[in-house]
Amino acid sequence: MDFKLGPKHLELQQKVREWCEKEVMPRAQEFDRKEEFPWPFIDGLRKLGLLGIPFPKKYGGQEIDAVGLVVILEELGRADASLALLVESHNGLCSNHIFIAGNEEQKNKYLTRLAKGEVLGAWALTEPGAGSDAQSIKTTAVFDGKDWILNGSKTFTTQGSVAGTYVIMARTVDPTGKPGMTAFVVDKGTPGLEVGKKEKKMGLHASDTAQLHLTDMRVPPSQVLGKIGGAFRDVMKVLDAGRVAISGISVGIARASLEEGIRHVKPRKEHFRIAADQPGLSSAGRLLADLATEVDAARLLAYRAAALLDAGEKFTMAASMAKLFSGDLAMKAPTIVLDLFGFEGATLDNPVQRFFRDAKLYQIGEGSSQIQELIISRHLLAD
C-alpha cells in the first residue's frame, strides 16, 4: 500500500497548481462579485487538456485516471469552486454519459468536440419536482414513428446557458409498453430547446446554472444514448463516478479554508492563547490541527474511491463515503475559519466567505449528504 502520489500525478498536480495560482486565484473574487461566467479561463483549461481529462486520446482526451482527476479537482477547488464545478460537470456528467452509453458514431461526433474543449457540456436531469429521486422526472419523450418529441423543463442545469452539447433525460415507453428513462444528446440551437431563467445563487456565482424548457423538441433516433428506457442505470454509473470527482473539489475548498486560517493565525498566535498566563496550545491551534487531520482524511477517502474505480473494483460505497465526508467538511472548514477571522470574515474581500457560500452545493450536488448516508447504510445492511 502506497500513500504517495507517483511522479505523473505529482507533475500534473504541480502544473495545475501553478496555473491556478497565476491565473485563477487572482481573479476568482472578481468573477464571484460580478457573477460572471469565467470565459477568460476556458482557453487555459483547453490548453491544459482539462476539458477531456479521463477520455481516450482517440477522442481528444488525456487518458488521465480517476486518481489524477481527483488531484486536478482538488487544485481547482482550492482556487475557485465555480471553475472546478465547470470542469467536473463537463467531464464527469455530460461527457462521461456519452462515453459510457454512446455508440462509436456518437462518441466521434460529440465526445471528441467536448474533450477538445470546442464546446462545453451540460447534463440535464434535475427538475423542479425531481432532485434526489431521479426516477420521478416528468419530462417526456414520445416517438411519433420518425422522431422523439420531448416536452418538459429542467432546472439547476450546470452550463445550462453556455453549453454547446446537452445530455437530457426523459421518461419514455418502449415498444413493448414498458416505461423507463431514456437519454438524448442534442446540440445547442435545436428547435424546441430554450434556455430559461439563469439562477441567482447563494454561492458559485461564476458557475452558469440555468433552466431549460423543452417544447415539442424533435430528436432523431440516432441521438438516443444507450438503450431506450435504460438510462437510469447509466445515470447511476455517471453519478457514482461523479461522486468520486466532486469529492476532490470539496477537499480543495476545505484545504483553501485551512490555509487561510493558518495565514491569519500564524502572525497573531499570542492573541489566540487560552489565557495570558497559560503558554499551552491555543484554541485556534486545536481547531486548525483538527481541520488539517480531517482534510487529510477526506483526501485519502477520495483517493481510495478513485483507486477502486481505476482498478475496476466495486466503488459505490467508497464513493458515497468520500462524498459524504468531504462535502460536510467543505462546509465545516470555512465555518470554523470564519469564526477565527471574527468581523473581518464578514467582508466580501475575505475569500473564506466565498468558500463558505460555495461549499453548500457540495453537500447537495450529485446526491445530498442524506442520500449518501442512505447508500452507505444499504450496503452495510445488505444480505
Using N-to-C axis directions, what is the helix angle for 66-79 and 7-19, rounded to 10°?
20
Three-state secondary structure of 326-354: HHHHHHHHHHHHHHHHHHHHHCCCCHHHH
Q: Which of 125, 122, 124, 12 is nearest to 66 (CA)?
A: 12
- The pLDDT score that the predictor gives to residue 297 is 98
In this structure, the answer to whether residues 149 and 204 fall within a common structural domain is: yes
The SS3 of residue 214 is: strand
State the Cα–Cα distance between residues 54 and 241, nearest whole angstrom. 11
Three-state secondary structure of 222-238: HHEECCCCEHHHHHHHH
In this structure, the answer to whether residues 305 and 206 fall within a common structural domain is: no
95 by Cβ neighbours in 10 Å (0-12 / 13-18 / 19+) ranks as buried
In this structure, the answer to whether residues 126 and 115 fall within a common structural domain is: no
The SS3 of residue 246 is: helix
State the Cα–Cα distance between residues 206 and 28, nearest whole angstrom. 8
In 207-338, where do the E strands start and end?
Answer: 209-219, 224-225
In this structure, the answer to whether residues 27 and 56 fall within a common structural domain is: yes
Q: Is residue 1 part of a domain?
A: no
3 CA to centre of own chain: 25
Mean pLDDT of successive 10-residue segments in the chain (383 residues)? Answer: 87 97 97 96 97 97 97 98 98 97 97 97 90 80 95 96 98 87 97 96 96 97 96 95 97 98 84 54 84 98 97 96 98 95 87 96 91 95 87
What's the number of domains the chain is made of? 3
In this structure, the answer to whether residues 239 and 369 fall within a common structural domain is: yes
- The pLDDT score that the predictor gives to residue 342 is 86
Q: Do residues 115 and 107 make contact, with C-beta atoms less than 8 angstroms apart?
A: no
Domain boundary among 120, 150, 173: 120
In degrees and rounded to multiples of 5, residue 361 shows phi and psi of -60, -35
Domain carrying residue 349: 233-381
Q: Is residue 2 part of a domain?
A: no
Catalytic center residues: 366
- The pLDDT score that the predictor gives to residue 82 is 98
Q: Is residue 316 part of a domain?
A: yes
Domain boundary among 169, 195, 229: 229
In this structure, the answer to whether residues 345 and 323 fall within a common structural domain is: yes
Q: What is the CATH number of the domain that holds 218?
A: 2.40.110.10
Q: Do residues 158 and 199 make contact, with C-beta atoms less than 8 angstroms apart?
A: no
